[in-house]
Each structure stands twice: as C-alpha cells, then as structure tokens.
Structure 1
Amino acid sequence: MNKDTLLEISEKDISAIRFLKAPRKLVWEMWTNPEHITHWWGPDGFSTTTFKMEIKPGGVWRFVMHDPGGRDFQNKIIYIDVVEQKLLVYKHSGAEDTEDIHFHVTVSFEDDGDNTKITMKMVFETSEELERVKKEFGAVEGLRQTLSRLGEYLLQL
C-alpha cells in the first residue's frame, strides 16, 4: 500500500491528497495532456485511450480505460469549471448504455514549495452508490494507485 496518498472516506465521498515532486505547471500538464495521461491514468496495469479532450467549461473528455485482462471501461467527463493550473471541476460518468456511474469531482493544484499538492474529492449521489463503486470497481485502491502512478511518471521526466 502506498502511503504517499492520504485518503479519507465519508458517507458519500472519497477525498485524496497527494504531494508530488514536481512544479504545479508540470503537474497540470500531466493532468490535461492526453499524451501524458495515457502513461499514468488508471490503476496499476491499466492503459488509457483518449478520443477527445477539451479542457474548458462545458468541454468533454471521452476515453476508455483498458484493464490488464482485456476489459474496456468507457468514460466521459464533462468539465464544469477550469482554472488554469489551479482547479478542475467535472462530472464523471461511464458509458450511458453499459456503465451506470455518475459522480462529481474537484481537483485542486497548489504550490508546496517547489512541489505540488493535489487534492481530489469525488462526491457520489448516494452512500449506496459509493459503496457499489468501491466494491465493483475498487475505487479507493484504484484512486490510490492512479495518483501513485502519476507520481512515478513525474519522476521519470
């Protein structure tokens, strides 16, 4: 288990804090450029294919996460608010016809000396939905692994 990501789970949300050894501008670029996202987005062993990414309010990111066993997970993000190098707020859902998942996400990017503090909060509509996503998709460990992969990727640059 990676202890570099601090997690807190409450009734309807999961919050994570991760300190990254890179400047905020670079972390933002890793989070908003599909050429980089493919290298770290998703739990261990996953890869990501981006079809469309528009980082602006009302913009859409459509992508597929591929698990190591060959299963694909369609995803759609609609950006609500974007503040360059500081904030992303979006609605995250699966494919409408196959993945009934909907949650709201806020990601903040803050300077921490020469490094960056990321705070990510995922809010689900109900506590039952959060429990389902934790059980069916391993959301808590998946989030921890995803942020760990981002940290490892940044160290390779």
Structure 2
Amino acid sequence: MLAGIANTDLILDRDKHTIILTRVLAAPCEQVFEAWTQPEHVACWWDPSGEPLAQCEIDLRPGGAFRFVNRHPPGANQFAGVYREIAPPRHLVFEAGGDRACHSRRDWRQDVSDGEDRVRLGGTVGAIS
C-alpha cells in the first residue's frame, strides 16, 4: 500500500518500465469513468494543489486529444495526450507525454471484485512503438 493513500496498491517493474496502481473506490463504475473523462469533473481533481485546472480539454474518442493545464504557475505543468481505446465505463487507454524519453501509455481498467469497485491504472513509461 502507498503511504498516505488508503486502499491503494503499487506494483513497480523496473525491467519492463511499468507501474501499476490499484485502488478500491466507494463509487459505481459509471461515476468513476465520468470523473476521468468529463472536463467538468477532471478539472476539479487533477491538479495536486487542489486548485481547479486552468484549462481542461477532452475529445473523448479513439484518436481524440486531451490537454490539462494546472493553474499555478500559469501555463506550466501541462499534461496532454491521445486516447487510443475507449470502452465505457470500464476501460480507457491513452498515451501522454512529451519527447519519446518520457512518453507513456496508460491502461485504465475498472472491475468489481468481492463487491468492491477496483480501479487499475497501469502505465508503461519510455519509448512507445
């Protein structure tokens, strides 16, 4: 479990350049999927400072782009990418990052296990072919 983040497990595989976070949530799949894919929701939680995003643009379709801009400092800390796979309300694959050295592919999945909704976010960091 990650320190300070309840109900979260972390698996780190340095050889494969992957990180997998799994978290138990007390919310239905549809609501969590909307929180990850609707600009009015993402803007409220993405910035770690707790501030709403200065800009939040989402074109939710395979090949569609997204861009999130934190409020402080102005224009800094942008996160942008492209959606690759979308299967509401349980699966979302996107690629994000700048140059190929820090480019990553994230695979977001949600399932129900033992009556609890679990979100799994796996990421491969580095050059994506």
Superimposed CA distance per residue, residues 67-122 of structure 1 (whole angstroms, 9 cap, x where no aligned partner): 5xx2621221201111110111010114x6xxx73111000011346642100011
Name 2:123's counterpart in structure 1.
122
- Aligned equivalents of 1:113, 1:66: Cα separation in 2: 39
- Aligned equivalents of 2:125, 2:51: Cα separation in 1: 23
Identity of aligned residues (%): 25
For structure 1, the residue ranges without an aligned partner over 5 or more in a row are 127-157
Change (3 A) 1:48 1:79: same
Q: For the aligned residues, what is the CA RMSD?
A: 2.2
Say which structure, 1 or 2, has more relative contact order (CA 8 Å, 6+ apart): 1
Which runs of structure 2 are paired with 1:1-157 in the superposition (5 Å)? 1-11=4-14, 12-67=17-72, 70=73, 72-94=76-98, 101-112=102-113, 115-125=116-126
Give the number of equivalent residue pairs. 120
Shift of 1:46: 4.9
Amino acid at match of 1:80: R
For structure 2, the residue ranges without an aligned partner over 5 or more in a row are none
CA contact (8 A) 1:24 1:115 kept: no
TM-score in terms of structure 1 length: 0.67
Shift of 1:39: 1.4
Query: 2:6 aligns to what SS in structure 1?
Result: coil
CA contact (8 A) 2:42 2:56 kept: no
Change (3 A) 1:121 1:84: same
CA contact (8 A) 2:39 2:56 kept: no
Shift of 1:45: 3.5
Change (3 A) 1:40 1:112: farther
- Aligned equivalents of 1:14, 1:49: Cα separation in 2: 28
TM-score in terms of structure 2 length: 0.80
